[in-house]
A and B are shown apart, each in its own frame.
Chain A
């Protein structure tokens, strides 16, 4: 199993540009989520999905969109990038249920100029 994969590893954008961060998992996990990591703030939940066709907002959803057309994929879209979105983005997946462990991808480092 490849686990959770993310592409790209690193991206530079100009303010106002759009892009999609890709996330895929091959563990048949129902639950997938996106976090952003900023210094001193830990990981903050952006959006999450409990299954194909179902998404919901997390703690910091503004400026981001998601969709979940398949169990495997959970892309994160930045509609109009802003410097405040400079961060490291992590995708995670798990089986559904509060007892389950989330597994993380390697991250995407995004710089918005």
Chain B
């Protein structure tokens, strides 16, 4: 399968714990995006990378959220000191470069439940 993969698919944690999610994009894609989606809502844009450079991070929800893409391949999204309001689906997508914006290929998401 050469699509976008995300791990884990599900994560249950207790409030106050840190969690990290991984995204492996399509190999030839140099753009990678993170979104959060809550029930009944559209995905909410968080951040994106062009290769290893994080070009937009002001949409991250708070300073508890951080993302990295150290070698321009896979990416991680970390949430520190989780809160119950962080419970959501976290989606990753990737796209080829070139245009200012183009078709994104989404992974299946990581569902986070904070108890």
- Chains A and B come from one and the same complex: no
